[in-house]
DNA sequence: TAGGTGATAGTAATGATTATTGAGTGGTAA
DNA sequence: TTACCACTCAATAATCATTACTATCACCTA
């Protein structure tokens, strides 16, 4: 990324009251440059080579600070890790329930949702400051594998764990 | 709850292919009788007196089985516990970002969302099997306390608590 | 009664997240 | 310059939700 782009990222951080340290700039820059909605661990791994001394905790702290500053969204889906998104505007996501991939949906969907939201909020007798929409289903890669999947008690899914790992690839 | 109601819950479990053991009936019954969207721990605590021998793991397994059977929803919000909801139909939730309370929103909101969803799905080139909407904000109880809350870096809130250094800072 | 299937309890293990602490950095005022 | 102060970071420990494992138990069927 260009020096100018880096400087603009630093400016965004400053504007949010955060000191633009190299680690913070790199983390925010990495988030802005991906569409994969990475987890803390994924951010950490992606920046390991550039910042060998950076600790995982720094990534946690930086992401929390970015969320608190309103620059980054924390995404909660039905997996036990959080993901982060540099698109701070509320927008809808598609989540593959099989592989965990998270994608943004078409902008026109967001537009439709945004259009009806004021009407919804008016009927929620609360101070709504944010909203999120998740669509769950199967991504194109997983769609094909759907046929042989079947409901099992998660406590006894031992039949899956050896050969047929539920290929928990999260890109 | 009446014997007949218990029997109908057992019937629901059987219909979903689950053996209606007393623990499962009690867990499902408890979920259906609350609007609090309890966590695993909360379900466990609520049934401790009725089933002193029941383990936390049984609650985990049962809830996972209920989710897999489509009888119960697993709710993911921006806290690090999952909550469960016996209303298996997709519907919107309001989440208080301060105290964590989760409420259902008015049914008319759900109706509006349901009405536009087919149109949205048509523009998501994926096999959508479920969706969820979360509205974040402050519940009535927390609204009043909002005034003195301010954004802090979660990593360094310890130095705030004795000296109160960051007082005048707007962050 | 024996054998099979699945549910449960108990507990260990895993893994994500948070807390703590001490060192380092840069700025500011005397 | 020196002293001070606020802030950042890394390293590690601690916490805690969740999952895995295993032996036991209950129920069903032949």
Q: pLDDT tier at A157 (50, 70, 90 boundaries)?
A: very low
Specify the pTM: 0.85
The predicted pLDDT at position B9 comes to 93
Are A94 and A37 part of one and the same domain? no
Is there a domain that residue B111 lies in? yes
The contacts of residue A150 (CB under 8 Å, 6+ apart) are none
Tell me which residue range forms the domain holding B60.
1-85
Instruction: Choose among B76, B69, B41, B75: nearest CA to B56.
Output: B41
| CATH number for position A72 | 1.10.10.10
Residue B23 maps to a domain: yes
CA of B82 to C1' of D19 (A): 14
Categorize the per-residue pLDDT at A77 as very low, low, confident or very high, splitting at 50, 70 and 90.
confident
Confidence of residue B82 (pLDDT cuts 50, 70, 90): very high
B2 has a pLDDT exceeding 80: no
Please say which residue of B85, B115, B133 terminates a domain.
B85
Beta carbons of A131 and B126 less than 8 Å apart: no
Exposed, middle or buried: residue B94 (CB in 10 Å: 0-12, 13-18, 19+)?
A: buried
> In this structure, are B129 and B50 located in the same domain?
no
Residues of B in contact with A116 (CB under 8 A): 112-113, 116
Cβ pair B94:A155 closer than 8 A: no
pLDDT exceeding 90 applies to what percent of chain B? 49
- Are residue A75 and residue A94 in the same domain, yes or no? no
Contacts of A1 (CB under 8 A, 6+ apart): A29, A33
> Measured in angstroms, what separates residue B19's CA from nucleotide D30's C1'?
21
Residues B115 and B79 in one domain: no
Q: Show which of B38, B62, B85 is a domain's final residue.
A: B85
Q: If DSSP states are collapsed to H, E and C, what string results for A101-150?
A: CEEECCHHHHHHHHHHHHHHHHCCCCEEEEEEEEEEEECHHHHHHHHHCC
User: In angstroms, what separates the C-alpha of B54 from chain A's closest C-alpha?
Assistant: 16
* pLDDT for the residue B146: 62
B110: pLDDT strictly greater than 70: yes
Give domain status of residue B94, yes or no: yes
Q: What is the mean pLDDT of residues B63-72?
A: 94
The answer, yes or no, to whether residue B6 has pLDDT greater than 70, is yes
Which of the two residues, B145 and A105, has the higher pLDDT score? Answer: A105
Among residues B44, B61, B85, which one ends one of the domains?
B85
The answer to whether residues B142 and B96 belong to one domain is yes
- Shortest CA gap A12–chain B (Å): 14
Q: Do A76 and B74 touch (CB under 8 A)?
A: no
- The predicted-structure confidence for B128-162, as pLDDT tens digits, reads as follows 888 899 998 888 888 876 644 444 334 444 333 33
> Closest nt to A41 (CA→C1')?
C16
How do residues A106-124 score in pLDDT, each as one tens digit?
888 888 888 887 887 788 8
pLDDT at A35: 92
Probe site for chain A from B18, B78, B100, B102 (most A CB atoms < 10 A): B78
Which position has the token pair 């609007």? B35
| Mean pLDDT in residue range B110-137 | 84
Query: Residue B40: which residues within 8 A CB-CB, separation 6 or more?
Result: B56, B59, B60, B63, B81, B82, B84
Residues A3, A63: one domain?
yes
Percent of chain B with pLDDT over 70: 82
Lowest mean pLDDT among A92-96, B56-60, B78-82, B121-125: B121-125
B158 is near strand D: CB distance < 7 Å? no
Nucleotide nearest to B166 (CA to C1'): D6
């Amino acid at each position: 990324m260009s020096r100018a782009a880096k400087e603009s990222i630093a400016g965004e951080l400053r504007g949010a009251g955060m000191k633009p340290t190299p680690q913070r700039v790199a983390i925010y820059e990495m988030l802005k440059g991906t569409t994969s909605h990475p987890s803390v661990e994924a951010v950490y791994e992606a920046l390991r080579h550039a910042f060998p001394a950076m600790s995982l905790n720094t990534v946690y702290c930086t992401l929390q600070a970015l969320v608190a500053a309103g620059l980054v969204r924390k995404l909660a889906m039905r997996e036990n890790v959080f993901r982060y998104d540099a698109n701070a505007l509320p927008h809808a996501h598609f989540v593959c329930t099989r592989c965990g991939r998270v994608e943004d949906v078409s902008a026109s969907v967001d537009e439709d949702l945004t259009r009806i939201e004021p009407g919804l909020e008016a009927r929620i007798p609360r101070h709504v400051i944010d909203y999120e929409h998740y669509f769950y289903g199967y991504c194109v890669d997983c769609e094909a594998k759907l046929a042989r999947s079947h409901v099992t008690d998660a406590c006894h899914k031992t039949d899956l764990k050896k050969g047929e790992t539920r290929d928990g690839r999260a890109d």
